Structure 1
Amino acid sequence: MPRRPLGQLEAEVLAALAGLGGSASTAELVARLDDDPAYTTVNTILHRLYEKGLVSRFRAGRHYRYELAVDESELVADRMREHLRHASDPASALNRFVRTLSSEEARQLREILDKPGERG
């Protein structure tokens, strides 16, 4: 089985944490992730995310519980902007991205783009 890039695993851990809607232990997150990553790997990722200020943590007995310290939608949008910034042809990348959207996602995007003055 090929290994995931660490950035991808970080994103998956953040998405799993967001999906839980509150705090979670390392073990709870391991159970939600695909491909059964090792407990120690997920714990290391959580520590890195904590150091980056993306998650907060608090003691619960002998272990930590983690929760998002940032808005998930802002985090995803920042990643998308960063990828576009480094693309040699951002318009082509956007075109390919838009072509992968479901009908519902495309409808939502059109609705967002049609709202005047609400883009940042």
Structure 2
Amino acid sequence: MAREGAVRGFGELESSVMDWLWEHGEPATVREVHTDLAKQRQLAYTTVLTVTDNLFKKGWLRREPAGRAHRYEPVASREQYGAMLMREALDVSGDRQQALLAFVGKMSLEEAVALRAALSEFERRISGR
């Protein structure tokens, strides 16, 4: 995860790499990431290598040796990343209640039902029931 609690949105290529790794679901080499991403747009292997290494240095990926290369995987799920972004947005909002009201006001009925269920589950967990 991002170091020092700072969550930032990913750049375009960082998002592509993270999306690919999340969808892939298992550790992968830069060669594997590059091979697939290069099918959609012209991309140098070294560019993907640099972006992947930067994501590792930022704390978003972990890596393990794989011969002369490394296998990379995200340290957080896509859902955990989304939650971190929402937490950061709430922290910088100024008036949290107004920010939450504005956020809820843009939800679909299905999202509101999911939020209510998540809040109920959270309340059960913290109350020990």
The interval holding the TM-score normalised by the smaller chain is: 0.5 to 0.7
**Aligned residues: CA RMSD:** 3.3
Distance 1:41 1:22, change over 3 A: same
Distance 1:54 1:111, change over 3 A: same
Structure 1 residues 30-71: Cα deviation after superposition (integer angstroms, max 9, x where no partner):
4259x6373433322211121123211233344322112334
Whether 2:50 is the aligned partner of 1:8: answer no
Give the aligned residue type for 2:10: G
Match of 2:4 in 1: none
Q: Report the more deviating stretch, 90-99 or 106-115.
A: 90-99
The TM-score with structure 1 as length reference comes to 0.65
Distance 1:93 1:32 in 2: 37
**Pairs within 5 Å for 1:1-120:** 7-9=10-12, 10-30=14-34, 31=36, 36=41, 38=43, 39-115=45-121, 116-118=123-125
How far residue 22 of structure 1 moved from its aligned partner, in angstroms, is 0.6
Match of 1:3 in 2: none
Distance 2:19 2:77 in 1: 11
Q: Where do 5+ consecutive residues of structure 1 fail to align?
A: 1-5
Q: Where do 5+ consecutive residues of structure 2 fail to align?
A: 1-8
Match of 2:3 in 1: none
Q: Which has the higher contact order (CA 8 A, sep 6+)?
A: 2
Give the aligned residue type for 1:110: R
Distance 1:41 1:109, change over 3 A: farther
Over the matched positions of the two proteins, sequence identity in percent amounts to 34
